[in-house]
């Protein structure tokens, strides 16, 4: 679902809008059939219906995309936290974006629940904030809980 190429470390991003733009660029980098302006728009649209900031500085922006056959993800670690209108009001410095195919399966909802579970681990969040090596981050993001 995610590769080291779709992980950005210590990103200097100053707004929710820029963060979603960067996530859209990462998500479309490996998929020439996707247009980043379109993905950005989808993520923005979804945020408008309700923030995906799940608390503790974590956001999980997501959207369905007809062009995909499987889920793809991208991860950004921010240098400074930014306002995200999250559920606990805390600014966000870890963001995992998930795009899912537009089908009937509930696979993507399970993926999202899995991510929420993964990020609910305080120890893992600390490591995700400290680590600057994309490959280590990839392991942290993909190995099943518990650590």
Partner 1 sequence: MKIIILGAGQVGSSVAESLVSEANEITVVDTDTRRLRHLQDHLDLRTVVGNAALPSTLQQAGAEDADLLIAVTQSDQTNLCACRTAATLFKIPTKIARLRSADYRDHPELLDQKNFAVDFNICPEQIVTDYLLKLIEFPEALQVLEFAGGLVSLVAARAVEGGLLVGHPVSDLRQHSPDLDARIAAIYRGNQAIIPKGDTRIQAGNEVFYLAATHDIRQVMSELRQRDRPTRRLMIAGGGNIGSRLTMAAEARYQVKVIEINEERARELGATLGSALVLHGDATDETLLAAENIDDMDFFLALTDDDENNIMAALLAKNLGARRVLALINRHAYADLLQADRIDIAISPAQISIGSLLAHVRQGDVAAVHSLRRGAAEALEIIVHGDAATSRVIGRRIDELELPAGASVGAIVRGLQYATPETPRSGQVIIVHRDTVIEPEDHIILFLSNKSLVNSIERYFQVGLAFF
Residues that bind partner 1 (CB under 8 A): 14-18, 21, 37, 40-41, 44, 46, 48-52, 54, 60, 62-64, 83, 85, 100, 108-109, 112-113, 116
Tell the smallest beta-carbon distance from residue 20 to partner 1 (Å). 9
3-state SS, one letter per residue, for the chain: CCCHHHEEEEECCCCHHHHHHHHHHHHHHCCCCCCHHHHHHHHHHHHHHCCCEEECCEECCEEEECCCCCCEEEEEEEEEEECCCCCCCCCEEEEEEEEEECCCCCHHHHHHHHHHHHHCCHHHHHHHHHCCCHHHHHHHHHCCCCC
Tell the smallest beta-carbon distance from residue 27 to partner 1 (Å). 15
Comparison of 43 and 137: residue with beta carbon closer to partner 1:
43
**For this structure, is 62 an active site residue?**
yes
Comparison of 28 and 52: residue with beta carbon closer to partner 1:
52
Comparison of 13 and 138: residue with beta carbon closer to partner 1:
13
Task: Give catalytic residues, as residue numbers.
Answer: 62
């Amino acid at each position: 679902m995610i590769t080291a190429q779709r992980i950005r470390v210590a990103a200097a991003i100053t707004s929710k809008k820029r963060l979603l733009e960067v996530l859209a660029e990462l998500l479309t980098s490996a998929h020439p059939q996707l247009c980043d302006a379109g993905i950005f728009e989808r993520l923005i649209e979804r945020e408008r219906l309700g923030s995906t900031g799940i608390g503790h500085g974590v956001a999980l922006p997501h959207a369905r995309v007809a062009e995909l056959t499987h889920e793809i993800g991208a991860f950004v670690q921010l240098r400074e936290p930014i306002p995200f209108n999250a559920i606990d009001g805390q600014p966000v410095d870890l963001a995992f974006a998930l795009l899912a195919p537009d089908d009937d399966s509930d696979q993507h909802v399970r993926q999202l629940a899995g991510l929420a579970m993964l990020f609910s681990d305080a120890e893992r969040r600390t490591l995700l904030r400290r680590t600057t090596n994309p490959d280590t981050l990839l392991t942290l993001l993909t190995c099943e809980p518990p650590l």
